[in-house]
Amino acid sequence: MPMPIFTPILPPKLRSISHEELVKWDKRRREYEAKMRARCRSSGEDYNLVTQNVKESFDVELLESVCSLRLRKDVADVTEGQLIAEIKALLAKVNNDDLPDIKALFYKELVMDLAETDEDARILAYFQKFKQVVLEHGLEVVFSGDDGE
């Protein structure tokens, strides 16, 4: 049986914990994981064996700093789950300086396609674009909870 040939799918490297960089990394990581799941479905490979974990995605110096200064542990003692929880906590913490001008952002990027004649399709596309803008700019926290709903 011939072996399938794949182009290497490289995971994104995490080099900074700034909110802006984490948002970009998180988006690229989700894309990487989706590509790896698709590859494993077609090839029969084990997803956990062929996918690089989050810990290995860190820049070595950044990993050491995060583990020692934020988690207060040695790198060897930090689990994948602890790193993922720390990343999620950092993503959820939005400083006012990190927030873009939301009105200007939505005015620029969120436009309803009035050329679409199917009303349901038009509205669905609008809400899909809203979700995309929110994810791309790390605004999930702003639009969650009692204040965001």
**Per-residue pLDDT reduced to its tens digit, 112-146:** 989 989 999 999 999 999 988 888 877 777 777 66
> In the chain, what is the straight-line distance between the N-terminal and C-terminal CA atoms, in Å?
54
Q: In terms of domains, do 23 and 82 share one?
A: yes
The answer to whether residues 138 and 22 touch, using CB atoms and an 8 Å cutoff, is yes
Q: In terms of domains, do 88 and 128 share one?
A: no
14 beta partners: 58
Query: Which of 93, 108, 123 lies at the terminal end of a domain, its last residue?
Result: 93
Give me the domain span that covers residue 47.
19-93
Q: In terms of domains, do 142 and 86 share one?
A: no
**Segments of 30-79 assigned E as strands:** none
Q: Encode pLDDT of 63-91 as tens digits.
A: 999 999 999 999 999 999 999 999 988 88
Q: In terms of domains, do 48 and 78 share one?
A: yes
Structure tokens that stand for 133 in this block: 């803008």
Query: Does residue 26 form part of some domain?
Result: yes
The answer to whether residues 57 and 14 touch, using CB atoms and an 8 Å cutoff, is yes
Q: In terms of domains, do 71 and 131 share one?
A: no
Beta-carbon neighbour count of residue 34 at 10 Å?
Answer: 10
